[in-house]
Amino acid sequence: MLYKSLAAGVIAFGLPTMASAALIITGSMGKADGQPGSLNTIKYADGKLEIINTQVGVCGKISSWMEFIGNHIYCLDEVWTGGNGALYNLQVTKDGSNLTQVGNKLEMLPGPVNTARYGQNHRGLAVAAYGGGGLQTLDISNPAAPKTLQSTNFTMTPKPKAGDQQKSSHPHQVILDPTGDFIAVPDLGADLIRIFKVDKNTLEYKESSTVVTPDYSGPRHGAFVKLNSGTYFYVVTELSNEIIGWKVNYTDNNLELGEKQFLVPTHGPGTSAPNNVTAAAEIVISPDNKFLLISSRNEKSIEIPDPENNAAGQIPSDPIITYAIQADGTLRLQQIFPAGGVHPRHISLSKDGSLVVTALQNDNRIALIKRDVQTGNLTEFVGTVKVEGPPMFAKLKE
Ligand SMILES: *[C@@H]1O[C@H](CO)[C@@H](O)[C@H](O)[C@H]1NC(C)=O
Ligand SMILES: *[C@@H]1O[C@H](CO)[C@@H](O)[C@H](O)[C@H]1NC(C)=O
Ligand SMILES: *[C@@H]1O[C@H](CO)[C@@H](O)[C@H](O)[C@H]1NC(C)=O
Ligand SMILES: *[C@@H]1O[C@H](CO)[C@@H](O)[C@H](O)[C@H]1NC(C)=O
Ligand SMILES: *[C@@H]1O[C@H](CO)[C@@H](O)[C@H](O)[C@H]1NC(C)=O
């Protein structure tokens, strides 16, 4: 009820409010199992969203993640149906209207889902392989010819009541710390944060420390935040739907996550997930380090006007939940705002923090939402578009 009135009160679709132009690049999985996925370029100008390019199969079947480097896009194919994953190297025209593959695709460990750049001149690329349970690194000194460096398969013993996602290791993200010396890898299958030390020159990594999260929590994505009081690390857990935060302790040679700072359910202290299929997904930090945003999937806890056809009535939406980061690293619940549909697997912010892009996997929809950078609140929908196949990734190319 509360959400219904909130949504009705604040949402006004298609307002021609922002004059600036921008491109959003998205990746989708195929329309049906085994079919090729699509990449879309969406132009945002004069307050409107318009698809200006759709290319099918340029990033395999399950286009799970992208890294933008100048006019190169590295795109991961998660594949899903067994076998190795792949990294596609694409060149994109300035206007976003054409993506062209460069060289051959690179075979990767199965199920790659996320990348992070590291090392001197950001010439290393770390990749988390969810399906294969591994970590991989590439040398991208020459963006046109990435070379595989190191590869590790993680082993673990499943816990007695392990569900399907915890029968083996499932690293879901690679996150570079603010010093650039460490990479944190949340392992959803093992209830661990695996931390690696990297050599910025040779790009080699080695194990630094391992931090345990609560049993069956399923840590998925994380983020570092550097405040005056120290550096903090936050992780969102997919299975227990919580945010866990630690103060980072830099010792002589390692990054350690100190005593647990706090653990808060995604909807705030004293709440529980709205239903038994709720699965928290993304975590992002605002550019000013003052706010933490998470997305939660499958809740359908909010109703909003159908964004493509206001006259058609209401549709269900999942939330984006904003927390204000306090001076001591603790979190204060600030706002619950509709994501624009169901299953926001990926959300991302514009560089200035004034726009939020959401990839709504179950609605084949991309939504663009305005955000007040002073207050940290999401304020209104700029617009939405439907794309071909369930979107897994959407980000402004700035
Ligand atoms: C895209 O660019 C490639 C390489 O320059 C070119 O061969 C192809 O014709 C272009 N496609 C379109 C639709 O413009
Ligand atoms: C790691 O796993 C992949 C498949 O998941 C396999 O092809 C590769 O041989 C494994 N590497 C090692 C060192 O076991
Ligand atoms: C930081 O790590 C060192 C070495 O493990 C330990 O002695 C120290 O107590 C830790 N400090 C905090 C605040 O956790
Ligand atoms: C989840 O909830 C639904 C209905 O609320 C119920 O039918 C189903 O058995 C529950 N599933 C589990 C795994 O608890
Ligand atoms: C931000 O949103 C919250 C939740 O709706 C609201 O209580 C608060 O007043 C808003 N802040 C501002 C400055 O609008």
pLDDT in tens, 349-364: 999 999 999 999 999 9
Q: Which residue has the higher pLDDT, 1 or 284?
A: 284
CB 319 within 8 A of CB 341: no
**What's the rounded mean pLDDT across residues 344-348?**
98
Distance 336 CA to ligand 5 centre (A): 10
Q: What residues contact residue 271 under an 8 Å CB cut-off, 6+ apart?
A: 265
CB 307 within 8 A of CB 243: no
Q: Which residues pair with 309 in a beta bridge?
A: none
Q: Residue 325 has what pLDDT?
A: 98
Tokens of 126: 């770390």
* Residue 160 CA, distance from chain mean position: 30
Judged against a pLDDT cut of 90, whether residue 55 lies above it is answered with: yes
Residue 55: CB within 6 Å of ligand 1? no
6 three-class SS: helix
| φ and ψ at residue 64, rounded to 5 degrees | -90, -25
| Average pLDDT over the chain, rounded to an integer | 93
Q: Residue 20 has what pLDDT?
A: 60
CB 124 within 8 A of CB 203: yes
Judged against a pLDDT cut of 70, whether residue 282 lies above it is answered with: yes
* Residue 46 CA, distance from chain mean position: 27
Closest-lying ligand 1 atom to the alpha carbon of residue 97: 14
Q: Residue 391 has what pLDDT?
A: 98
Q: Residue 372 has what pLDDT?
A: 98
120 three-class SS: helix
Which residue's alpha carbon is at the smallest distance from atom 7 of ligand 3?
251
Nearest alpha carbon to residue 137 among 87, 179, 90: 87
Residue 340: CB within 6 Å of ligand 2? no
The share of the chain scoring above pLDDT 90, in percent, equals: 89
Q: Regarding the domain with residue range 2-397, which homologous superfamily does it belong to in the CATH classification? A: YVTN repeat-like/Quinoprotein amine dehydrogenase (2.130.10.10)
CB 92 within 8 A of CB 73: yes
Which residue's alpha carbon is at the smallest distance from atom 9 of ligand 2?
153
Q: Residue 7 has what pLDDT?
A: 39
User: Whole-angstrom Cα distance, residue 364 to residue 338?
Assistant: 16
Residue 260: CB within 6 Å of ligand 3? no
Pocket test for ligand 1, best of 98, 101, 102 (most atoms within 8 A of CB): 98
Q: Residue 81 has what pLDDT?
A: 81
Nearest alpha carbon to residue 242 among 344, 163, 331: 331
Residue 146: CB within 6 Å of ligand 2? no
User: Whole-angstrom Cα distance, residue 209 to residue 253?
Assistant: 10
Confidence of residue 46 (pLDDT cuts 50, 70, 90): confident
Distance 161 CA to ligand 4 centre (A): 17
Judged against a pLDDT cut of 60, whether residue 1 lies above it is answered with: no
Q: Residue 6 has what pLDDT?
A: 37
Which residue's alpha carbon is at the smallest distance from atom 11 of ligand 2?
153
Closest-lying ligand 1 atom to the alpha carbon of residue 98: 1
Residue 109: CB within 6 Å of ligand 2? yes
Q: Which ligand is nearest to the CA of 276?
A: 4
Judged against a pLDDT cut of 90, whether residue 299 lies above it is answered with: yes
Type and span of the H or E element at 99? strand 99-101
Confidence of residue 232 (pLDDT cuts 50, 70, 90): very high
Nearest alpha carbon to residue 148 among 195, 96, 109: 109
